[in-house]
Amino acid sequence: MTDWDEFGFNTRAVRAGQVRSDEGEHSEAIFPTSSYVFENAAQAAARFANKEPGNIYSRFTNPTVRNFEQRLAALEGGERCMATASGMAAIFSTCLGLLKAGDHIVASRSLFGSTVTLLNNILAKFAIKTTFVDLTDIDSWRVALQPSTKLLFLETPSNPLMEVADISALAELAHARNCLLVVDNCFCTPALQKPLSLGADIVVHSATKYLDGQGRCIGGAIVGPEKQVGGDIFAILRSGGPTMSPFNAWVFLKGLETLSLRMQKHCDNAETLAHWLEKQEAVERVYYPGLPSHPQHELAKKQQGRFGGLVSFEVKGGQEAAWRVIDSTRIMSITANLGDAKTTITHPATTTHGRITPEQRRAAGINDGLIRISVGLEDIEDLQADLRGLRLE
């Protein structure tokens, strides 16, 4: 792999990982092939025995997928990347690769819903237990550690309340106890935050979100040291098969080329919207790490390049008022997806967090008046006008 250390982020985003074919194509080629032809029987044997590098079968070797993996690895500053069929497949493969029955995970309570289900309901069936703790309370992480703890898992900023975890402090805690810190870097992307440079061991992604950035494909990725990602995690990919398709890899590759530009614009719009929302009479509270009122604003300033494209806010009047604001929009898409060029608006209490009890919701701080917006790339004046529901009585 080319050493990309000497090049800047944007150069890597446009160039890293490309290997041109004999056709001299300028844009990256898509290789929709399941298998590969060998020169002779000896070469086939050498490939299968891992004695010679090269393609074997697209469940675990494909040039387009490798191109995406090498580009994302260069952006995150990791040795190795494995692309997966979805963000959930990335998290699942990481856990299956690194853990065995009897091992223990300490995880943030503020995680993507399917991640909670995966840890609670699925890994538990294989005797891998998880203790959930408060993302921002480092003591609660320390207290939850057990002799069998192998992995600490978190997302920062969290969804939908945008709490920010201290990655360096948690990495130190993890390493003092011989554990690995895994960070889901979906919300910031490497354009805004590089967990590996802050001490995290492994980064997981839902490429479905900002890496694609236009809501077209489902995909995921794992980035980290060759030892783990190229070892036990690759083994899960090779034999378990949660593989990314070459076409999706190509879409994500092209997404990475504009990642930095898009993230800057998402941040511009989100910052403007957050400050504007704070001034609206009908708004009780705004959750955005870029606001001085945010409890971890200083940490976010230190740890992130900027503050991201997601803004949550609570309107006065509970669910009825929140639904009125959502239903009176004309351009925002009412959907729970995020990280798209198109702005999306959602009511967490009745959608993403609708299946937990009202008590659990209240404990998590997700009130009935809460609205989450994934701020897109439209004109900010149009987005402000689209929240006309805030002005109605």
Least Å distance, CB 115 to ligand PLP, is 6
Task: Write the secondary structure of the chain as one string of H (helix), E (strand) and C (coil).
Answer: CCCCCCCCHHHHHHHCCCCCCCCCCCCCCCCCCCECCCCCHHHHHHHHCCCCCCCCECCCCCHHHHHHHHHHHHHHCCCEEEEECCHHHHHHHHHHHHCCCCCEEEEECCCCHHHHHHHHHHHHHHCCEEEEECCCCHHHHHHHCCCCEEEEEEECCCCCCCCCCCHHHHHHHHHHCCCEEEEECCCCHHHHCCHHHHCCCEEEEECCCCCCCCCCCCCEEEEECHHHHHHHHHHHHHHHCCCCCHHHHHHHHHHHHCHHHHHHHHHHHHHHHHHHHHCCCCEEEEECCCCCCCCCHHHHHHHCCCCCCEEEEEECCHHHHHHHHHHCCCCCEECCCCCCCCCEEECHHHCCCCCCCHHHHHHCCCCCCEEEEECCCCCHHHHHHHCHHHCCC
Residue 141 binds ligand PLP (CB under 6 A)? no
- Minimum CB separation of residue 30 from ligand PLP in Å reads 20
Residue 340 binds ligand PLP, judged by CB under 6 A: no
Residue 210 in contact with ligand PLP, rule: CB under 6 A: no
Interaction of residue 136 with ligand PLP, rule CB under 6 A: no
Q: How many residues contact ligand PLP, by CB under 6 A?
A: 15
Any contact of residue 220 with ligand PLP (CB under 6 A)?
A: yes
186 binds ligand PLP (CB under 6 A): yes
Q: Among residues 70, 108, 206, 260, which is the contact residue for ligand PLP, using CB under 6 A? A: 206
> Does 87 interact with ligand PLP (rule: CB under 6 A)?
yes
- Shortest approach of ligand PLP to residue 389 CB, angstroms? 25
**208 is an interface residue for ligand PLP by CB under 6 A:** yes
Q: Select the span of 2-10, 111-119, 133-141, 223-231 touching ligand PLP (CB under 6 A).
A: 111-119
- Our finding on whether 212 is near ligand PLP (CB under 6 A) is no
Nearer to ligand PLP, 17 or 160 (CB): 160
Q: Which stretch binds ligand PLP (CB under 6 A): 23-31, 80-88, 309-317, 369-377?
A: 80-88
Per CB under 6 A, 163 contacts ligand PLP: no
Among 64, 67, 70, 86, binds ligand PLP (CB under 6 A): 86
Residue nearest to ligand PLP (CB): 87
Contact between 243 and ligand PLP by CB under 6 A: the answer reads no
Q: Is 245 in the site for ligand PLP (CB under 6 A)?
A: no
- Min dist CB 222 to ligand PLP, Å, is 12
Do 57 and 34 meet the contact criterion of CB atoms below 8 Å apart?
yes
Q: Which residues form the interface with ligand PLP (CB under 6 A)?
A: 86-88, 112, 114-115, 155, 159, 184, 186, 206, 208-209, 218, 220
